[in-house]
Amino acid sequence: MLSALYNRPNSILEKQRRIQNDHRQLWYRLPRSGLYMGTFYATFTVGMAESIRLDDYSVHAMSQNNGACEPPDPANTITDRLNTLLNSSGPGFVLQLCPSKQYLIQAPIRFAAPDQEISTTGYPLGEERATLVVNGLVEGGTGHTTAVDGTCPTCSGVRLRNIQIDGTRRGASPTQGGGNIEMGGSNSNQLIEYVRSYDPRSWSCLHIAEGALDCANATVQHNDIGPCGSDNFQEWADGISMSCRNSLVRNNTIIDATDGGIVVFGSPGTVIEENVIRIDNQTLLGGINMVDYDPFSGDYTSTIVRNNLISGGFAHDSPDDGASKGTNLEDAIIKIGLAIGPRTWFGERYAANVSHSGTVTGNRFTGAFSYAIAVTSARNFTVQDNILIGNTSFIGKQGPNCSTTDTVPDPAPFVLDLNNTQESNLQSDFKSISDGDSLTCVLPPDGGDYWPFGGNPAEHGTTSRRGLSGGAIVGVVLATVVAFALLLFFGRKYWLKRRLRRSW
């Protein structure tokens, strides 16, 4: 019964003679070669055409809405024009700005409907991103502070991508108002990515607000943030201020924030991971802060801070005669690399209230700090596997704003106030201190060889990474199909050749 499958006439010699007597190009001699090669050429042509079309779309800034980016001129109408487009175009509208252009706005640009997007045409990185310049009036300490506002009641799913925000403080005192970017509110599934935000007039480069404690599922990723604020007393500003449940803050680079690099306002269920927080020229009060009792009553349940790199100050001079430390021209340090508990920051303001139920693991610290991690007024926290890397130093002195009734602990990597920290799972290298209140009152040394040499270790998670463009993705997929077709073609050819040789 099975003999029909293997007892078949041998036609190898006949096929060999047919191929040898065929004078066409070799790849057309085998049976169905025309079909194979025709399919290959068609697939290749379509793939290359589509790749060119999509990349041309990016390069020439073709908007999906009206075929062109919205120009910044005339400047005296640009604020109204951008807001009119968002208000009149409905859900899903993409407002595309022109690459490398500055938009001098006089008031916030406000999202108006679900799933809208503000972005630069072609989604470039670096200086090619369009820049929204905060340019409205400021008088008597109040005025225009916010470039983009995504807190409207119907702003779920809005996206802010591949643009720059220049807050234009330019060394002035803070202006009362919102951050450079105000997102969140009673919304969900918002996205902020590949955005540069710097020099805010007010208190934050990027704020995700809690709404009625119902903001959820915001994603903040691949952004480059800072400088933010001044390290002069009470002129500080945050890098990223997160107050939204079940959100994700990852792969951002924050440089020269001055209040908190990333401030986590409870935000139950939020993950803060793979971010780089670094200072170059300004002292930062806290790298990552889990200290705010409001608005979630200290609830950090399922909030996870993991695998972040926090880099304090380094020496600016060169090592001499084997010295391990040198001077920093700005006397810049991070006072607390990672702060847990309201008393760490606010002293007695929140009385016996605590931060509770958060997780802090696998974070790395390098450079100059007063304290790498400080824990006070905390309950049910897990703090494990956080380490020092590269060169570090722990420096600082009691400042004029330290309370005369508080005992400021000596600088150290990991400090813990057991008087008000309970039921927590902490790594073994914490040093017990008698008083952990208001630790940000410390000041860096006034000069001297106290800063480690070595600079910042290789960083990860920075915004230089970028996904493939749409055209490139299509090209890769089609190239894979073509490669597979070629593999089948030449594999079949190789198999036939081997069969012919065996028949000799």
pLDDT (tens digit, 9 = 90+) per residue, 426-461? 999 999 999 999 999 999 988 889 999 987 554 433
Reduce the DSSP state of residue 315 to 3 states and report it. Answer: coil
Tell me the two tokens of residue 171: 């060394």
- Within a domain: residue 313? no
Distance (Å, whole) CA 353 – CA 232:
29
pLDDT of residue 476: 44
Q: 273 to each of 210, 234, 360, 373, how far by Cα in Å? A: 20, 28, 10, 16
pTM for this model (two decimals): 0.79
Distance (Å, whole) CA 125 – CA 465:
9
pLDDT of residue 468: 42
- Within a domain: residue 50? yes
Total count of domains within the chain: 1
Mind spelling out the 3-state secondary structure of 317-373?
Answer: CCCCCCCCEECCCCCCCEEEEEEECHHHHHCCCCCCCCEECCEEECCEEEEEEEEEE
Distance (Å, whole) CA 53 – CA 66:
17
DSSP annotation string for 409-454: PPPEEEEEETTS-BS-EE-TTPEEES--TTGGG-B--SSSS-EESS
pLDDT of residue 21: 75
Reduce the DSSP state of residue 383 to 3 states and report it. Answer: strand
| Residue 418 exposed, middle or buried by CB count within 10 Å (0-12, 13-18, 19+) | middle
- Within a domain: residue 55? yes
- Give the residue numbers spanning the domain of 499: 31-60+468-504
Question: What is the chain's percent helix, strand, coil content, to nearest 5?
Answer: 20, 30, 50
Name residue 40's beta-bridge partners.
none
Contact 395, 332 (CB under 8 A): no
pLDDT of residue 6: 58
Torsion angle defined by CA atoms of residues 241, 244, 250 and 254, in that order, rounded to the nearest 10 degrees:
0
pLDDT of residue 298: 97
Distance (Å, whole) CA 243 – CA 111:
19
Q: Provide the angle, in degrees to the nearest 10, between the axes of the packed helices 470-503 and 33-59.
A: 160
pLDDT tens, 91-142? 999 999 999 999 999 999 999 999 999 999 999 999 999 999 999 999 999 9
- Within a domain: residue 284? no
- Within a domain: residue 214? no
| Residue 504 exposed, middle or buried by CB count within 10 Å (0-12, 13-18, 19+) | exposed
Q: Provide the angle, in degrees to the nearest 10, between the axes of the packed helices 12-21 and 470-503.
A: 120
The single residue listed with the structure tokens 């990672």 is 338
Mind spelling out the 3-state secondary structure of 70-118?
Answer: ECCCCHHHHHHHHHHHHHHHCCCCEEEECCCCEEEECCCEECCCCCCEE
- Within a domain: residue 483? yes
Q: Tally Cβ neighbours within 10 Å of residue 404.
A: 5
- Within a domain: residue 134? no
Name residue 414's beta-bridge partners.
373
- Within a domain: residue 458? no
Q: Give pLDDT tens digits along the chain (504 positions).
A: 556 655 666 676 777 777 777 777 766 776 777 777 777 777 777 666 655 544 443 443 343 455 589 999 999 999 999 999 999 999 999 999 999 999 999 999 999 999 999 999 999 999 999 999 999 999 999 999 999 999 999 999 999 999 999 999 999 999 999 999 999 999 999 999 999 999 999 999 999 999 999 999 999 999 999 999 999 999 999 999 999 999 999 999 999 999 999 999 999 999 999 999 999 999 999 999 999 999 999 999 999 999 999 999 999 988 877 788 999 999 999 999 999 999 999 998 998 999 999 999 999 999 999 999 999 999 999 999 999 999 999 999 999 989 888 789 999 999 999 999 999 999 999 999 999 999 999 999 888 899 999 875 544 334 333 344 444 444 444 555 555 555 565 555 555 555 555 544
